[in-house]
Amino acid sequence: MSESEPSISAVAGPIHELLAMGGPVMAILLGLSVIGLATALYALIIGVLQAPRASGKVYRAVDQWCDGDAHSAQRSLTSMRNPLAGLLAFVMKQRLAGETETNLRDEVGRRAQRLIMPFESPLKILEVIAALAPLLGLLGTVMGMMTAFDAMASAQGQANPSELSGGIYEALSTTAMGLAIAIPFAAVAAWMEFWLRRAQQRINDLLVRVFRRELPDTEQQTAPAPEKELTGDSSAEPVARRHAMA
What is the mean pLDDT, run by run of 10 residues, along the chain of 246 residues? Answer: 51 60 81 94 91 89 90 90 91 86 86 91 95 92 77 66 68 87 95 93 91 65 41 43 44
* CA-wise closest residue to 101 among 212, 200, 204: 212
**DSSP for 159-174, written as a single string:** --HHHHHHHHHHHHHH
Contact 142, 25 (CB under 8 A): no
- State whether the Cα torsion 187-189-193-195 is positive or negative: positive
- State whether the Cα torsion 53-58-62-63 is positive or negative: positive
pLDDT score recorded for residue 120: 92
pLDDT score recorded for residue 149: 73
pLDDT score recorded for residue 217: 55
Assign 79 to helix, strand or coil: coil
Q: Exposure string (b/e) for 165-199, b if CB count within 10 Å is 16 or more?
A: ebbeebbbbbbebbeebbeebbebbeebeeeeeeb
Give CA 199 to chain center in angstroms: 10
pLDDT score recorded for residue 228: 42
- State whether the Cα torsion 207-210-212-217 is positive or negative: negative
Instruction: Calculate the alpha carbon distances from 59 to 47, 53, 72 in Å.
Output: 20, 10, 13
How many CB atoms neighbour CB 19 within 10 A?
14
Residues with Cβ within 8 Å of 165's Cβ and at least 6 positions away in sequence, in order, are none
Measured at the CA of 50, the angle between CA 49 and CA 54, to 5 degrees, comes to 110
pLDDT score recorded for residue 180: 93
- State whether the Cα torsion 194-200-204-205 is positive or negative: positive
